[in-house]
């Protein structure tokens, strides 16, 4: 036996020495994944046979990790200076057009020709700067070229009526396409963003006596699709978010500026649905979506619901909600973007309840749906789903003032029973003290309303006495429950609430009730207090608590 112990001690010593040797050895470093675009797995450093990087590669990776000092002269002179002053140049061109127009220095045709010539010059100078590897300056000039061209086309179409609307629209589409191509060639996200903003604003720069909303929605949607796939291909996060925002903003602005009929609303509803389908398809790709994607797709679904409820009848809208809820719940069950997909399914169900159920039953169904959604989130450990369920549940609970009980058997009584039952289930699942507090107040409110309904035909004295007795009984029940289930907080609540009932009797009931009712009240409440005090001298649980207290003292 002693030999075996000695052998085990030697083995432990050997293992300790091996662990120490491993700690002192060179650590294995994971390849550094570049966050910038344009790098891939092929550009990573070569690995040795043991799977570790060579010392030279490790030093190179460490140098990349170090932040280079910011050169303010380069930052201001090469980046921000041209960006700011190209705007100043464009403003100067606008003022120049204004001066020439007011003083009749140039004819309208000459002004338009000069505007297009200026755009061509900006393009030429921008191309030369790109050739000389002055990328920032060249991109700024390209952006100025697009802006000046669109402003000139706007003047030719709206101010001077030289160009018909179709021609002006085609010219602007061509210049936007050229800007996207240039951003693709020179890999500039900011140029693509600048051109994209101009593209979304293009319909507002075209004069039309009878605007075609279907054409407007179709153009904006196609532009979004182009920018969406371009941003995905190039991994441009800013352009990705901006295109989503710009499409919805242009639709909302057009809704305020124009009077829509049902057909025009349907066109916009179809556009936002196509946008949401694009986001949904992106979420199913193996490639990880951009950050903030859950908030983006959830907000997109909310906008789709807003436009669809405005554009379609209840039957179509309810069908859309059912289909969307089934699709999202099905994909969530299979593990695709489970937190946000489950929340969207919950939201679709919530809207369906609001649209389908009668007013008296909305609160009840919202409580049940919120509870189910919360339990699903708790089962799969989805915090977002739990929050969504609690929001829906709280919206149903906030409707409590609208469910004041006036009959014992009614929708109002059913509502309060559902509130009490669901709070009890939530407390059982979470064991959270806040759920217990809400449960106690829900039960107290329910039985108080029932008592007032029963005593409706009696005098105010009898009603107040009955309410005091019901509250005293509730206090006794709280103490008894706390004793049976070893809940000290419930026992303390029962005692405090019993004193509150006594205070109510003295302050409110005593001045208004007759002498014989005073006698009944005091005898009843006094007996309840004495009987309740006896609970604290019986039972093993409380006896043990008292003995522990004595031992500590």
The average pLDDT across 397-404 equals 89
The average pLDDT across 358-387 equals 86
Measured between alpha carbons, how far is residue 354 from residues 35, 196, 309, 401 in Å?
45, 38, 12, 18
Distance (Å, rounded) from C-alpha 360 to C-alpha 498?
Answer: 35
Q: Give the per-residue pLDDT at 543.
A: 46
Q: Give the per-residue pLDDT at 34.
A: 33
Structural domain includes residue 241: no
Q: What is 99-159 written as a DSSP string?
A: HHHHTT-S-HHHHHHHHHHHHHHHHHHHHHHHHTT-HHHHHHHHHHHHHHHHHHHHIIIII
- Which domain, by its residues, includes 193? 110-209
Share of the chain above pLDDT 90, in %: 18
Q: Give the per-residue pLDDT at 58.
A: 45
pLDDT digits (tens, 9 = 90+) for 262-296: 677 888 999 999 999 999 998 887 666 667 788 88
Whether the predicted pLDDT of 439 surpasses 70 = yes
How long a stretch of residues is the chain?
553
Structural domain includes residue 24: no
Structural domain includes residue 478: yes
Helices 108-131, 135-154: axis angle to 10 degrees equals 160
Distance (Å, rounded) from C-alpha 161 to C-alpha 170?
Answer: 15
The average pLDDT across 500-515 equals 77
Q: Which of these ranges, 255-259, 436-440, 447-451, has the smallest mean pLDDT?
A: 255-259
Q: Give the per-residue pLDDT at 35.
A: 37
User: End of a domain among 209, 243, 272?
Assistant: 209
Phi-psi region of 211 (alpha: psi -120 to 50; beta: other; left: phi over 0): beta
**Per-range mean pLDDT, top range of 8-17, 74-83, 225-234, 413-422:** 413-422
CB distance 119 to 156 below 8 Å: no
Total number of domains in the chain: 2
Structural domain includes residue 506: yes
Collect all residues with Cβ–Cβ distance below 8 Å to 508 and sequence separation of at least 6.
Answer: 464
Structural domain includes residue 178: yes
Q: Give the per-residue pLDDT at 136.
A: 77
Q: Give the per-residue pLDDT at 78.
A: 59
pLDDT digits (tens, 9 = 90+) for 198-255: 888 878 767 666 667 778 888 889 889 989 999 888 888 889 999 999 999 988 888 7
Q: Give the per-residue pLDDT at 280.
A: 92
**Per-range mean pLDDT, top range of 206-220, 270-284, 371-385, 506-520:** 270-284
Supply φ then ψ for residue 53, to 5 degrees.
Answer: -80, 150
Task: Give Dmax (Cα) for the chain.
Answer: 115
Whether the predicted pLDDT of 105 surpasses 80 = no
User: End of a domain among 186, 209, 232?
Assistant: 209
Structural domain includes residue 161: yes
CB distance 122 to 141 below 8 Å: yes
What is the model's pTM? 0.65
Q: Give the per-residue pLDDT at 262.
A: 67
pLDDT digits (tens, 9 = 90+) for 25-69: 544 334 333 333 433 333 333 333 444 444 444 444 444 444 556
Whether the predicted pLDDT of 548 surpasses 70 = no
Average pLDDT of the chain is 78
The average pLDDT across 348-375 equals 87
Structural domain includes residue 507: yes
Distance (Å, rounded) from C-alpha 150 to C-alpha 199?
Answer: 10
Q: Which of these ranges, 77-91, 348-362, 437-451, 499-513, has the smallest mean pLDDT?
A: 77-91
Q: Of 293, 281, 309, give the one whose Cα is nearest residue 343.
A: 293
Q: Which of these ranges, 127-141, 401-415, 487-501, 526-540, has the smallest mean pLDDT?
A: 526-540
User: End of a domain among 178, 209, 240?
Assistant: 209
Structural domain includes residue 153: yes
Alpha helices in 206-313 (DSSP H): 213-234, 237-257, 262-283, 293-311
């Amino acid at each position: 036996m002693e030999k075996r112990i000695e052998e085990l001690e030697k083995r432990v010593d050997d293992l300790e020495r091996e662990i120490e040797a491993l700690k002192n050895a060179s650590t294995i470093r994971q390849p550094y994944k570049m966050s910038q675009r344009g790098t891939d797995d092929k550009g990573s450093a070569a690995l040795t046979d043991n799977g570790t990087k060579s010392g030279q590669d490790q030093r190179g990776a460490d140098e990349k990790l170090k932040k280079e000092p910011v050169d303010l002269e380069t930052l201001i002179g090469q980046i921000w200076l041209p960006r700011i002053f190209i705007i100043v140049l464009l403003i100067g061109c606008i003022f120049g057009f204004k001066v020439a127009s007011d003083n009749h220095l140039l004819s309208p045709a000459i002004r338009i020709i000069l505007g297009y010539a200026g755009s061509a010059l900006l393009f030429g100078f921008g191309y030369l700067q790109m050739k000389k590897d002055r990328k920032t300056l060249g991109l700024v000039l390209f952006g100025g070229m697009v802006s000046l061209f669109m402003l000139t086309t706007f003047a030719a179409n709206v101010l001077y009526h030289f160009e018909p609307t179709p021609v002006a629209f085609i010219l602007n589409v061509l210049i936007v396409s050229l800007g996207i191509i240039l951003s693709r060639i020179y890999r500039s996200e900011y140029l693509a963003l600048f051109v994209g903003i101009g593209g979304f604003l293009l319909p507002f720069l075209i004069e039309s006596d009878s605007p075609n909303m279907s054409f407007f929605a179709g153009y904006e949607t196609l532009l979004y699709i182009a920018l969406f796939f371009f941003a995905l291909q190039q991994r441009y996060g800013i352009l990705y978010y901006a295109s989503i925002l710009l499409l919805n903003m242009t639709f909302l602005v057009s809704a305020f500026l124009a009077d829509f009929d049902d057909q025009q609303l349907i066109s916009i509803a179809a556009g936002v649905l196509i946008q949401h389908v694009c986001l949904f398809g992106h979420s199913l790709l193996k490639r990880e979506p951009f950050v903030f994607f859950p908030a983006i797709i959830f907000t997109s679904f909310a906008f789709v619901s807003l436009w669809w409820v405005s554009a379609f009848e209840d039957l179509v809208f309810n069908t859309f909600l059912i289909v969307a809820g089934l699709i999202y719940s099905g994909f969530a069950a299979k593990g695709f973007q489970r937190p946000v997909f489950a929340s969207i399914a919950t939201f679709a169900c919530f809207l369906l309840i609001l649209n389908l159920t009668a007013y008296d039953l909305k609160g009840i169904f919202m409580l049940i749906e919120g509870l189910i959604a919360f339990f699903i989130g708790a089962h799969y450990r989805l915090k977002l789903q739990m929050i969504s369920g609690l929001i829906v549940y709280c919206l149903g609970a906030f409707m409590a003032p609208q469910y004041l009980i006036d009959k014992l058997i009614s929708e109002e009584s059913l509502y309060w029973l559902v509130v009490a039952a669901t709070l009890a289930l939530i407390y059982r699942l979470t064991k959270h003290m806040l759920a217990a507090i809400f449960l106690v107040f829900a039960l107290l409110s329910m039985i108080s309303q029932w008592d007032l309904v029963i005593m409706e035909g009696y005098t105010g004295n009898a009603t107040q006495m009955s309410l005091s007795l019901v509250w005293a009984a509730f206090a006794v029940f709280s103490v008894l429950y706390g004793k049976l289930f070893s809940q000290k907080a419930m026992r303390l609540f029962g005692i405090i609430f019993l004193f509150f009932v006594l205070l109510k009797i003295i302050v409110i009931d005593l001045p208004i009730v007759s002498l014989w009712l005073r006698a009944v009240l005091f005898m009843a409440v006094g007996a309840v207090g004495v009987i309740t005090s006896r609970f604290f001298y019986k039972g093993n649980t409380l006896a043990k608590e008292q003995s522990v207290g004595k031992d500590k003292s």
